[in-house]
Amino acid sequence: MKKKPIILVTNDDGIIAPGIRTLIHVMNSLGDVYVIAPNKPQSGIAHAITMDTVLHCDSVKIDDGIQKEWKCSGTPVDCVKLAISKILPKKPDICVSGINHGSNSSINVMYSGTISAVIEAGIEGIPSVGFSLLDFDWNADFEPSKEYICKIVKKILNNPIPEKIIILNVNIPKLKKEKIKGIKICRQAEAKWKENFDHRYNPKGKSYYWLVGDFVNFDKELDTDEWALKNGYISVVPIQFDLTDYQILNILRSWNFK
């Protein structure tokens, strides 16, 4: 009898978030599930790790699922590191993160704790995928996502890429199941946040700042994640942790810094 794959589940919205509870439910149908997730929301924390304080990681039982669960006082990346080093019986066959409450398409990938968790797993040689739904509502409808999440994870488990670790950033539009047109393999759109800090004062007259901004998409091509999501498709973007700009590399070498 073939052994079930070991699946590590984490997120950045916290272990009780509806998104991760949905993801756990789907993963229980595919393998032996271990959940190590933050004990509180950690959105926008990117690849932060805990270095100057202790980490607490406690076994919990959130619902009636068959998974084994721990809540961690650290970041999503801490959760992955701790899971691999101390908690799991062996290296997992796959790491999944999410389902995030809100988009991680385009430039948002740089800030995302959801995606940083799967990048960390990739650094450790583990195929991994981060899932996000374009709905920030705590009570978002994750039901339409289930079928596609299952399909994508099965593909990763059944189609390993030789000598290359696969890391996928998957974003799902906020649509009813019948309105989702399918899956598009995309590149990351060239976009950014046009930000400002709203200067305010509290009732005692002390000033503070609140980050505000608008998302600006400069990319009008039809092969991007932003185009796919706007047109009713689930976007799948392969990502990597090697940040070298290879196009500029040879130009810099020609500058002769001697």
| CATH classification at residue 156 | 3.40.1210.10
Phi then psi for residue 79, to 5 deg, are -60, -45
Instruction: Quote the CA–CA distance of 192 and 199 in Å, as a whole number.
Output: 22
CB atoms within 10 A of CB 191: 17
Beta bridge partners of 195: 213
Instruction: Quote the CA–CA distance of 192 and 198 in Å, as a whole number.
Output: 19
Residue 92, both tokens: 């997992």
Closest among 119, 122, 184, 116 to 148, alpha carbons compared: 184
Would 210 be classed as within a structural domain?
A: no
Identify whether 45 is preceded by a cis peptide bond (ω within 30 of 0): no
pLDDT at position 219: 87
- Mean pLDDT for all residues in the chain: 94
Would 195 be classed as within a structural domain?
A: no
Residue 233, both tokens: 């498709």
Residue 202 contacts residue 189 (beta carbons within 8 Å): no
Q: What average pLDDT does the segment 47-54 reach?
A: 95
- Residue 67 corresponds to which amino acid? Q
**Bigger pLDDT: 64 or 205?**
205
Would 207 be classed as within a structural domain?
A: no
CA distances from 238 to 32, 45, 224, 249 (A): 25, 21, 12, 22
Would 204 be classed as within a structural domain?
A: no
Instruction: Quote the CA–CA distance of 238 and 37 in Å, as a whole number.
Output: 23
Q: What average pLDDT does the segment 122-128 reach?
A: 95
- Domain interval for residue 95: 6-188+222-253
Q: Would you give the distance in Å from CA 112 to the centre of its chain?
A: 7
Would 161 be classed as within a structural domain?
A: yes
Residue 1: band (very low, low, confident or very high) from pLDDT cuts 50, 70, 90: low
pLDDT at 256 over 90: no
Total domain count for the chain? 1
Please tell me the pTM assigned to this model: 0.92
Q: What average pLDDT does the segment 17-34 reach?
A: 97
| Angular region, 46: left φ>0, alpha ψ -120 to 50, beta rest | left
**Span 54-95, pLDDT tens digits:** 999 999 999 888 899 999 999 999 999 999 999 999 999 999
Closest among 77, 82, 153, 69 to 122, alpha carbons compared: 77
DSSP class of 107: G
Would 115 be classed as within a structural domain?
A: yes
Would 174 be classed as within a structural domain?
A: yes
Percent of the chain with pLDDT over 70: 99
Closest among 182, 129, 174, 142 to 7, alpha carbons compared: 129
pLDDT at 258 over 80: no
Would 60 be classed as within a structural domain?
A: yes
